Structures are given as C-alpha cells and as structure tokens.
C-alpha cells in the first residue's frame, strides 16, 4: 500500500475517534448525566474520590482521559483510580487477568505532513501542524493480579476537616482578586476579579467551594495566565465553550481536593450540546484546556501530594 493510500484512512481513523468520544459525551448529557461530575460516595462508585493516575508512574491523566477513565470506574465499579498498560503490569511483576477488557484512552499530539513541509519550503510560509489522537489500552489495577501491594491498595479520601482551610489557602495563594458578596457568582475578565456569594448563602456550604473553583477556572484564562479568549458574548458558542472549560476544571479540582459537591451547573447544557454536535473535537479541546486550568489552580495548593504533575499520556492539546 502506498503512502497516498494510507493517509486518507489515517485521517478517517482520527475523525472516527473524535466522533466516538464526542458521541459518548453527548449521550451522557442527553440522559441528564454529567460525565465530569461522577457520583462519588454512592453505591455505583466504589473508588475513592480523585483523579485517575498511572499506577506505574504516579502521574495523573489529564484532559479527555479523565472523563473516559472516571466513566469506566463508575460503570464497572472499580475500587481504585490506578491504571496500567499491559506492559506496565508485566514490568511490575504482575499481569492482566485473562478475559479482562481494557479501556481505550488517547494520546493527543500534532504532526506536519511531508506535503505541508514541502509547501512551506516552496512558499516560505510556516508549516501547519495537524492535530491527531492515538488510541491505546489501559487496565484498572483491579483487573490485574500479582501486582505490588502499594499498587493495589486504594488511597483513602482526605479527611473532611482539611478541605475548607486548604481551599481558602489556595484562593489566597493564587493572587486572584477574590471578592465575597452579592447574590451571584461571576468573573470579570476586563478587570480580572472574581465575585462569589458568601458560603452562608448556600443551602449546603460545600457547594460554595465548587462555585469558587468554577470561577477561579475562568480566572485562570486571563491574558496574564493561560491567555484564553474571553471576547465572546453570552449566548455564543465560544462563550459556552469557556463555560464548559470552567465546569470541567472545577470538577477536576474538586476531585483532587476531596470536595464532593451536591449541585451541578446545568444552565449551559443546551449550548454545550450545540457546541459538541457541531464540532466533534470540541470536548477533547475543552477537556485539555480544563486540565491546564486545574493544573494552574492546584499548583498553588499546599505541598501535600496534590500538586499536579505532567500528565500522561495526553500531554498536549488536540
């Protein structure tokens, strides 16, 4: 088969993967479920709250892989958030049990086709890279046997008494102009400040922390930080996309900090569905940006094991 025969098929495979992932997310949203807010603590979720990690390297997964692996943990009732490739399990002296089905995760990167490199040389223009996703399979540690004890033991959730002081310290450490008051939560990009109602205004104060992290997720996108686009007005697809980033980022931060909110931000679900149906890559890009936002926020957390580390395997945005 010639190179010209392979290229369209590779592009088709990449498109199908984006479509497959987005289809699953749309299905969850249409059913009224939020794939980035899992029902931790319920009978359907046996694993402790936290971000999925590679059990061999200790690194957290990021972006769309968080949603994929959270969904697998809840669907199959796995008791932990640790994941391994087949080879990693073998390298640790263990193995995947016979008959176990793995979970497909993705690696996001970019490449420049040879035709594009040639065009750039001929025109003097900059070569344009093409985003791609590559599939590979991981297994939950519970699907393996003969692993070392420290791999198979699930880490307990943090004590509830540490959650609120840690979030308060984190807010101060970010340096974001954070104001408490009023009756609604919002972020003002032009003046770079966050406003959140006081905790006592919430029926369940734990939800104050989630709202706070949502708004800090927006603040992470300021031009002096991660430099996201805030130029779109309410009701536009770009506005909905930024809300999707903040929503996922808050969920990722809550998982890392041990916060289990009872409320979910459903106000934008219709506009999210519009965005996802129009662009199958949108949820992958949003999840990647949300991980970057969460990493920025959590980089200010106390040095107690919650600081984010370089993600694996999807280190770069699609």
Q: What is the pLDDT of residues 117-144, one digit of tens each?
A: 888 888 888 888 887 778 989 999 989 9
Q: For the chain, give every domain's residue range.
A: 3-152, 160-298
pLDDT of 64: 92
Question: Taking all residues of the chain, what is their mean pLDDT, rounded to a whole number?
Answer: 82
pLDDT(247) > 70: yes
- Strand-pair category, 103-111 with 193-196: unpaired
Instruction: Tell me what the mean pLDDT of segment 275-301 comes to.
Output: 94
Beta-carbon count within 10 A of 56 CB = 19
pLDDT of 141: 93
For 65-123, how does the pLDDT look when each residue is reduced to its tens digit (9 = 90+)? 999 999 888 888 788 899 999 999 999 999 998 889 999 999 877 888 888 888 888 88
pLDDT of 119: 86
| 284 vs 268, higher pLDDT | 284
3-state secondary structure string across the chain: CCHHHHHHHHHHHHHHHHHHHHHHHHHHHHCCCCCCCCCCCCCCCCCCCCCCEECCCCCECCCHHHHHHHHHHHHHCCCCCEEECHHHHHHCCCEECCCCCCEEEEEEEEECCHHHHHHHHHHCCCCCCEEEEEEEEEEEHHHEECCCHHHHCCCCCCCHHHHHHHHHHHHHHHCCEEEECCCCCEEECCCCEEEECCHHHCCCCHHHHHHHHHHHHHHCCCCCCCCCCCCCCCCCHHHHHHHHHHHHHHHHHHHHHCCCCCCCCCCCHHHHHHHHHHCCCHHHHHHHHHHHHHHHHHCCCCCCCCCCCCCCCCCCCC
Task: Choose among 264, 229, 256, 313: nearest CA to 81.
Answer: 256
Instruction: Tell me what the mean pLDDT of segment 31-45 comes to.
Output: 67
């Amino acid at each position: 088969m010639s190179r010209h025969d392979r290229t369209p098929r590779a592009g088709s495979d990449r498109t199908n993967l984006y479509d497959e992932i987005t289809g699953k997310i749309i299905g969850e949203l249409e059913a009224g479920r939020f794939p980035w807010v899992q029902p931790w603590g319920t009978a359907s979720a046996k694993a402790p709250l936290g971000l999925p990690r590679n059990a061999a390297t200790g690194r957290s997964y990021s972006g769309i892989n968080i949603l994929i692996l959270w969904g697998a943990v809840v669907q199959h009732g796995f008791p932990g958030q640790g994941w391994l490739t087949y080879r990693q399990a073998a390298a640790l002296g263990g193995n995947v049990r016979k008959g176990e089905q793995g979970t497909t995760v993705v690696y996001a990167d970019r490449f420049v086709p040879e035709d594009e490199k040639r065009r750039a040389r001929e025109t003097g223009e900059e070569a344009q890279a093409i985003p791609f996703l590559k599939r590979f399979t991981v297994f939950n540690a519970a699907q393996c046997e003969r692993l070392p004890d420290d791999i198979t033991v699930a880490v307990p959730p943090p004590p509830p008494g540490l959650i609120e002081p840690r979030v308060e310290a984190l807010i101060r450490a970010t340096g974001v102009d954070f104001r408490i008051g009023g009756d609604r939560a919002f972020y003002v990009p032009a003046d770079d400040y966050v406003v959140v109602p006081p905790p006592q205004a919430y029926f369940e104060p734990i939800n104050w922390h989630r709202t706070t992290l949502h708004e800090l997720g927006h603040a992470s996108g300021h031009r002096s930080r991660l430099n996201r686009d805030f130029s779109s007005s309410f009701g536009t697809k770009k506005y909905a996309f930024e809300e999707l980033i903040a929503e996922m980022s808050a969920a990722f931060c809550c998982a890392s900090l041990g916060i289990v909110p009872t409320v979910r931000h459903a106000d934008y679900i219709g506009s999210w569905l519009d965005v996802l149906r129009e662009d199958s890559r949108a949820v992958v890009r949003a999840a990647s940006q949300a991980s970057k936002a969460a990493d920025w926020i959590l980089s200010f957390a106390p040095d107690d094991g919650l600081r984010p580390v370089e993600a694996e395997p999807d280190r770069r945005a699609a």
